[in-house]
Amino acid sequence: MQRFTLDRRASGVLLHPTSLPGPHGVGDLGPGAERFAAWLAESGQAWWQMLPMGPPGGGGVSPYYATSAFAGNPLLISLDRLAEDGLLGRDDLIPRGAAFADERVRFGAAGEFKLPRLRKALRAFETGASAAARDLLDAFRSANCGWLPDFALFCALKDDQGGRAWTDWPADLRRRVPSAGAAARDRFAAEVRFHEFLQFVYVAQWSRLREACRRLGVGLVGDMPIFVAHDSAEVWSNPELFCLDAQGRQTVQAGVPPDYFSATGQLWGNPLYRWDRLQATGYEWWLARLRAQFVQFDLVRLDHFIGFHRCWEIPFPAKTAERGRWVLVPGRDFLETVRRVLGRIPLIAEDLGLIVREVEELRDRFEFPGMRVLQFNFGTDAEADKYRPHSYPRRCVVYTGTHDNDTTVGWFRDPGTKKTAKEREQMRAERALALHYLGTDGREIHWDMLRLALQSVADLAIIPMQDVLGLGTEARMNVPGTTEGNWDWRMRGEAATPDLARRLFTLTKICGRLPARG
């Protein structure tokens, strides 16, 4: 069986499970995921990278704004697997009315279709599950007692409150008065059981997928956002760890100052941590969070690694990230605690953007690979040469692009109609330099960039599936600073072909990145 490690040359593909093809409006952890894992193995890939797997909150769909740092997204539960387990009938799997489209995730419609069937699966479990299956559920509850009871009650209360943020709940629930919590747990016992069951099923299906990936020699790469959503079970149940007022409302919010992605910065809106209080507990909450990640994944990307040195603190309720201040974080002490308690866990430091020397020193002190993105590597400024692929260190992960970038084809063909004349000229200069550097005419720019990533000295190369397929801007996953039309791209069922696998396998082999499976 494959031993997953960062100390050898390898490559992989970035594809979030929601983007997988499937019959129920959204990709899931079922047969389609296992078929994709098999395709990755056939293609010679050692890694499958995903976006955060938590349940999106705030009425949105962003995986970076979840209602829990520990729970999985119930929308990813496979109904097909539930039918295999005898908890649903085959008729339950057939969408009524118009079939779900392949091209886009239909989050709302998928939820409306899946939720009644998930409730039906619980009823079937409660009336017909074996003693062994019930024991497994009890063991799951016990193993996850640090977060599951609060999360399940949070979900039940949120449903009862019509989806309102927890800061708008009655005061005794908002403040978690023990007597009110006990009464609510009794009153909503059925709903609490439902949400616990969803997480039990999610973990069971995830474990099955992970075991299949292990047999195939494909490691799983997770993505852990540094921040959590304000309207989340974690902030509601641990308000003392966050910068909140006496009513639980934010006093400041997270983001980044103006940068490449946005002239007004990125206003994420997440609450900032009280690092002094986290430090006083020995970072217990963070350690639990990291342990949970490595139950699921073989390798984890730490999103916004700069935030472990300093955070951009924006007054609440500012509408842009332009006005703020940098606040230092005890990142070195935190990461030393992580190493002492958890050992040398494999982490990727997302160190993109305007980083400072101290961030690089923190990354290198703990020997985390940083990130390189080819779309950023053809600038013409005085510092640009050190970011060219020929200057990469071995200890890094190279991407053609990330979930926040346009696809490579979209990036190359972007006419820049919404940009200034100066910005368009800069774009043309970067594209021209890229063509010279690649020695190509750009007709298959996605394969040119993919080849460059695989040929680089970087220990690990990760390619978004959209770039493997050569798709344009229509397949872009996210546009930072916008809230509409993101996260909903889906791969067509016939897209990952054997011919494509053979082509990717050949290039991976030539570049010395095939995994040593056996």
DSSP-derived 3-state class of residue 256: strand
**DSSP string covering 66-91:** BS-SS---GGG--HHHHHHTTSS-GG
CA 518 – CA 501 distance, rounded (Å): 20
Q: Distance of alpha carbon 317 from its chain centroid, rounded? A: 26
Interhelix angle for 445-455 vs 498-510, to 10°?
40
CA 8 – CA 456 distance, rounded (Å): 13
Catalytic residues: 303, 350, 404
Q: Which two tokens stand for residue 98?
A: 């118009």
**DSSP string covering 441-488:** -STTHHHHHHHHHHHSS-SEEEEEHHHHHT--GGG----TT--SS-S-
Torsion angle defined by CA atoms of residues 396, 399, 405 and 406, in that order, rounded to the nearest 10 degrees? 160
Which residues, 6 or more positions from 475, have their beta carbon under 8 angstroms from its beta carbon? 407, 410, 466, 469, 489
Contact 391, 377 (CB under 8 A): no
> What Cα–Cα distance (Å) separates residue 90 from each residue in 82, 197, 326?
10, 21, 55
Q: Which two tokens stand for residue 144?
A: 């996850």
